[in-house]
Structure 1
Amino acid sequence: MIETEPAKVAPDHLHNHVAGRWQPAASGALRRNTNPSDVSDVIGEFAESGAADARAAVAAASAAGPAWDELGSIERGALLFDVAALFAERLDEFAAAIAREQGKRTAEARAEAERALEILRFTAGEGRRLQGRTLPAEAGRSWALTWRRPIGVVALVTPWNFPLAIPAWKVAPALLSGCTAVLKPSPLTPHTAALLVQTFLDAGLPPGVLNLVQGDREVGEALVAHPNVAGISFTGSLPVGLAIQQQAAPRLARTQLELGGKNAVIVLADADLDAAADAIVHGAFGQAGQRCSATSRVVVDAPVREPLVQRVVARAEALRVGPAAAADTDLGPVVSAERRGACLAAVEQAVSDGATVACGGHAVRAGLPDGFYVAPTVLTGVAPDSELAKEEVFGPVLAVVEAHGYDDAMAIANSVRYGMSGTIFTRDLGRVHDALRNFEAGMLHVNRPGVGAWPHLPHMGTKMSQYGPPECSPEQWDFYTEWRSACITFPET
């Protein structure tokens, strides 16, 4: 059923990359990486690193820092343009690796690779715009000015759901700013990260500027605790993000944390229901619901609840579940057996709490390889204060919550501890204005899917979804750099 040839795994890419060379974990330990569409497809045995590997990577980044800083942002930007040129030639290789390793449909994997390319191009262009200000001085024959300086070594800890785009949008600004970096990807997606690092190397990145350490919790904890790591940029779960913040705080290490969401689409009674249903299905079941901005709640005005649910269920039931690389697949697998179990447990708990399964709610196995397939699931009658309405599932599971008018719908949408994305469907421009003011979320959408953003726009949430500066925009420099100011008086000649 798999129709594209899987990306080959070079022997070096099974290892870490530290101080300019590929090398195994100090312990020699390995972790097997398999295809979530078919677990009999073994991608490789990748380094399972520990604290010693993390320390070696930080030492390499520290040593490379002064020369990399001295290069200047314009030359660093030029190198990123070279990376982007190579990256464009390898889009198919990246897409095949993502589909095989993470489980995204090939079209979704290609879209991720294209987004990563646009991020690289945008960031490279910022090399000529990494600016400060010239300000009036209070004394004669004097200037006052500000400029940015890199904070130093940064640890970049990335998740499995966007194994290429998220590492790219952390690595590129880190390096452009003059920081050196240690990248620790998810142990579920080591191969895609290795291909990204190899592209930077092939473009001529100096040794030690970007280091790759594969592994899990031990590596992450060692990086967060290291006294030479000036900042930690993390995308992942709320519990891990809180732990990073608590560990980094005593030494005042800078943190940038993106921690997921429980995103709502509000559908008011005057909405275009077909457009809303299309957007909801795209947001809830695209990439198997494994996005921080995924649509996990529909908050619908009571008068249109039934016709909207009918449309959403019909579209969901028409989705074809199958291997990521199969041409006829609409919904690929979730990334692991643990994720599949969590989705099914969430459905079971929701039913126990009084919800009704309108479609899906089960694993899919018939006629498929041995993978982690979950049927697209819609639950109705979900109480606003129930667990399914409050907590992130991170899978193809959609909760429908009934509301009575705009004020009730907005109160329900804002009742969770997260604030990543918020969406409204309505023809009432006054309500659009109100929603843009009232949503407690960082990325807002009107009459369009509640997922996705452009590289030059800030990627950020509110409340427990985000801590620290945004990513993917000029605002990201507030994480990777710190300010300097100078007052200069010139002597009389």
Structure 2
Amino acid sequence: MSASNSVCVQAEHRLNYVNGDWRPAESQQTRLNVNPADFSDDLGEFVESGGADADRAVGAAMLAQADWQDIGPVERARYLRAAGRLLGERSERIAGAITREQGKLLDEARGEVAQAGAILEFTAGEASHLSGTSTSAEDNRTWAMKFRRPIGVVGLISPWNFPLAIPMGKVAPALLSGCTAVLKPSPYTPLTSALLIDLFHDVGLPAGVLNLIQGDVAAGEALVANPQVAGISFTGSYAVGAAIHSRGAHRILRTRLEVGGKNAVIILDDADLSRAVDAVVSGAFGQAGQRCSATSRVIVDGRIKREFLNLLVPRVAGLRVGAGFDPAAQIGPVVDENRMHACLRAVAKAREDGAEVLTGGFRITEGLPEGCYVAPTILTDVAWDSELAHEEGVGPVLSVIEADGFDDALRIANSVRYGRSETVFTQSPARMYDAVERLEAGMLHINRSGVDAYAHLPHVGTKTSQYGSRECSPQVWDFYTEWRSACLSF
């Protein structure tokens, strides 16, 4: 499959979707969508929305809210299951769109489509659990109960690294809970979000229940500012998440924010190094390192550091970089030129701070189309408190930090402000227990990759990685619904 014939971009997919119709932005402004693996392959001009477009979508969602809530979760789940079946039928087309506009390998895109399907399946299965409970009352002939109700219109702001799975992780529970929604995806991946909307349009979702606004900052700011929006679910950078929380604070806007990570794999002196290397390669360089749970730090006991690097460096240096549709490629491009230059600047700064590049550290310009290709990079002698070891950087750049034993490794892992995902390789049950107890992260892994995720487990962080209720789990209902109580006397 080639990029040029992987997916045909239909005219309506370049527009907004409001109240059941595809519509241009009021400003008539557009943004060019380009394949990061090949700058000569553009997907066309997509609308750039402003505040008026966002307000129009919120108004449509507001009008649809009462009727959507009235049909109940079991009926709402039927739309999710139907969308899931349609997703299965269109899986190759959607995977091709993800690869073409985001850059990830086609097999990685197929995995993302499968994850989106799992989210729909899990969420639909939760329909029977969205009821309430009855309890004893202090008065005779009185029925006391508590139950959930949807909070209303929600704004869903999603990133570019998982342009299908993350939006689906927001859209599916929003709809099942009885909320109506406005989705504002990343401007880097507008086509995938339009194809997601198509799934629900084609299964007959009522007009106004789910709306799509393409664009960047202006559209997102308008969603946050609109007083009819009851909640914002955001996945992206810490800076933007903090701004959303701050701007909504004056009206006590409900927010759930997933805002970054600086994830470590700890390799202790009794680790199975073969398994550890496999996990680091997949965790750091899968999807070109562009995952919020990606491995960006390896914290290795100094006694086995040389042996570990002797195994790791040849593996990484031998990874084949290429376009996502190349079946021989093992790592694709980063999403755009800004991300590419940010990776290269981080490497240059680390060198100035005393780190050594063992492999990579440069842009690949030969043998590939002009694109955003960064050679997979390993830096060693990285100071535990350096900028590279502390600041989030999304890309195929791995820091190797030496630790003096188990306690020192845990100290280094916990030293960052983020707490997304941490992994430990050890054969000691006592160390496994201590690591789970002491590591300050929301998702913990022992002797396995730190990027694996399941639809039924919370996608969760600690410290500044997360604010509000968790996604992709039963805990998600604490964002999209609120508890009510009622006492009925007879």
In the alignment, what sits opposite 2:134?
A: 134
In the alignment, what sits opposite 1:326?
A: 326
In the alignment, what sits opposite 2:172?
A: 172
Report if aligned partners of 2:130, 2:148 keep a CA contact under 8 Å in 1. Answer: yes
SS at match of 1:364: coil
Once residues 156 and 387 of structure 2 are traced to their aligned partners in structure 1, the CA distance between those partners, rounded to angstroms, is 31
Deviations 1:372-429 (A, max 9, x none): 0000000000000000000111000000000011110000000000000010000000
Structure 1 residue 266 displacement after superposition: 0.5
Q: Does 1:269 align with 2:269?
A: yes
Once residues 484 and 202 of structure 1 are traced to their aligned partners in structure 2, the CA distance between those partners, rounded to angstroms, is 34
Once residues 117 and 344 of structure 2 are traced to their aligned partners in structure 1, the CA distance between those partners, rounded to angstroms, is 35
In the alignment, what sits opposite 2:259?
A: 259
Aligned-residue Cα RMSD (Å) equals 0.9
Once residues 249 and 304 of structure 2 are traced to their aligned partners in structure 1, the CA distance between those partners, rounded to angstroms, is 48
SS at match of 1:39: coil
Q: Does 1:200 align with 2:200?
A: yes
In the alignment, what sits opposite 2:64?
A: 64
Once residues 249 and 308 of structure 1 are traced to their aligned partners in structure 2, the CA distance between those partners, rounded to angstroms, is 48
Structure 1 residue 44 displacement after superposition: 1.3
In the alignment, what sits opposite 1:93?
A: 93
Once residues 164 and 311 of structure 2 are traced to their aligned partners in structure 1, the CA distance between those partners, rounded to angstroms, is 33
Structure 1 residue 231 displacement after superposition: 0.2
Once residues 450 and 227 of structure 2 are traced to their aligned partners in structure 1, the CA distance between those partners, rounded to angstroms, is 39
Structure 1 residue 324 displacement after superposition: 0.9
Structure 1 residue 3 displacement after superposition: 6.9
User: Pairwise mapping of residues 70-469 of structure 1 onto structure 2 (< 5 A)?
Assistant: 70-469=70-469
What stretches of structure 1 of length at least 5 have no aligned partner?
none
Aligned partner letter, 1:331: I
SS at match of 2:39: strand
Once residues 132 and 3 of structure 2 are traced to their aligned partners in structure 1, the CA distance between those partners, rounded to angstroms, is 51
In the alignment, what sits opposite 2:471?
A: 471
Report if aligned partners of 1:159, 1:235 keep a CA contact under 8 Å in 2. Answer: yes
Aligned partner letter, 1:338: N
SS at match of 1:86: helix
Once residues 38 and 401 of structure 1 are traced to their aligned partners in structure 2, the CA distance between those partners, rounded to angstroms, is 35
SS at match of 2:256: strand
Deviations 1:11-42 (A, max 9, x none): 01110000110000001111000100001101
Report if aligned partners of 1:134, 1:145 keep a CA contact under 8 Å in 2. Answer: yes
Following TM superposition, where does structure 1 have runs of at least 4 consecutive aligned residues deviating by more than 6 angstroms?
Answer: none
Structure 1 residue 179 displacement after superposition: 0.3
Aligned partner letter, 1:458: P
Once residues 304 and 421 of structure 1 are traced to their aligned partners in structure 2, the CA distance between those partners, rounded to angstroms, is 23
Once residues 394 and 153 of structure 1 are traced to their aligned partners in structure 2, the CA distance between those partners, rounded to angstroms, is 31
Once residues 34 and 105 of structure 1 are traced to their aligned partners in structure 2, the CA distance between those partners, rounded to angstroms, is 16
Report if aligned partners of 2:158, 2:186 keep a CA contact under 8 Å in 1. Answer: yes
Once residues 313 and 134 of structure 1 are traced to their aligned partners in structure 2, the CA distance between those partners, rounded to angstroms, is 60
Aligned partner letter, 2:143: W
Q: Which is worse superposed, 312-321 or 469-478?
A: 312-321
Report if aligned partners of 2:297, 2:389 keep a CA contact under 8 Å in 1. Answer: yes
Report if aligned partners of 1:74, 1:128 keep a CA contact under 8 Å in 2. Answer: yes
Once residues 45 and 311 of structure 1 are traced to their aligned partners in structure 2, the CA distance between those partners, rounded to angstroms, is 46
Once residues 297 and 144 of structure 2 are traced to their aligned partners in structure 1, the CA distance between those partners, rounded to angstroms, is 51
Structure 1 residue 4 displacement after superposition: 7.9
Deviations 1:424-451 (A, max 9, x none): 0000000000000111000110100000
What stretches of structure 2 of length at least 5 have no aligned partner?
none
Aligned partner letter, 1:283: G
SS at match of 1:303: coil
Report if aligned partners of 1:2, 1:323 keep a CA contact under 8 Å in 2. Answer: no
Once residues 365 and 322 of structure 2 are traced to their aligned partners in structure 1, the CA distance between those partners, rounded to angstroms, is 9
Once residues 312 and 58 of structure 1 are traced to their aligned partners in structure 2, the CA distance between those partners, rounded to angstroms, is 50
Once residues 96 and 5 of structure 1 are traced to their aligned partners in structure 2, the CA distance between those partners, rounded to angstroms, is 9
Aligned partner letter, 1:133: T
Once residues 480 and 142 of structure 2 are traced to their aligned partners in structure 1, the CA distance between those partners, rounded to angstroms, is 30
Deviations 1:27-81 (A, max 9, x none): 1111000100001101010000100000000000000000000010000011111
Aligned partner letter, 2:380: T
Once residues 308 and 228 of structure 1 are traced to their aligned partners in structure 2, the CA distance between those partners, rounded to angstroms, is 55
Report if aligned partners of 1:152, 1:230 keep a CA contact under 8 Å in 2. Answer: yes
1:55/1:186 CA distance change after superposition, 3 Å = same
Once residues 351 and 66 of structure 1 are traced to their aligned partners in structure 2, the CA distance between those partners, rounded to angstroms, is 58
SS at match of 1:215: coil
Once residues 354 and 152 of structure 1 are traced to their aligned partners in structure 2, the CA distance between those partners, rounded to angstroms, is 53
Structure 1 residue 129 displacement after superposition: 1.5
Aligned partner letter, 2:384: P
Once residues 202 and 488 of structure 1 are traced to their aligned partners in structure 2, the CA distance between those partners, rounded to angstroms, is 42
Report if aligned partners of 1:285, 1:331 keep a CA contact under 8 Å in 2. Answer: yes
Report if aligned partners of 1:4, 1:325 keep a CA contact under 8 Å in 2. Answer: no
Q: TM-score, with normalisation over the residues of structure 1?
A: 0.98
Report if aligned partners of 1:271, 1:426 keep a CA contact under 8 Å in 2. Answer: yes
Once residues 397 and 164 of structure 2 are traced to their aligned partners in structure 1, the CA distance between those partners, rounded to angstroms, is 24
Report if aligned partners of 1:377, 1:397 keep a CA contact under 8 Å in 2. Answer: yes
Report if aligned partners of 1:285, 1:396 keep a CA contact under 8 Å in 2. Answer: yes
Structure 1 residue 311 displacement after superposition: 1.3
Report if aligned partners of 2:3, 2:100 keep a CA contact under 8 Å in 1. Answer: no
Identity of aligned residues (%): 59
Structure 1 residue 131 displacement after superposition: 2.5
Once residues 225 and 312 of structure 1 are traced to their aligned partners in structure 2, the CA distance between those partners, rounded to angstroms, is 48
Structure 1 residue 252 displacement after superposition: 0.6
Aligned partner letter, 1:175: L
Structure 1 residue 318 displacement after superposition: 1.2
Once residues 352 and 334 of structure 2 are traced to their aligned partners in structure 1, the CA distance between those partners, rounded to angstroms, is 24
Report if aligned partners of 2:333, 2:373 keep a CA contact under 8 Å in 1. Answer: yes
Structure 1 residue 460 displacement after superposition: 0.9
Structure 1 residue 189 displacement after superposition: 0.2
Deviations 1:207-235 (A, max 9, x none): 00000000000000010010000000000
Once residues 208 and 452 of structure 2 are traced to their aligned partners in structure 1, the CA distance between those partners, rounded to angstroms, is 33
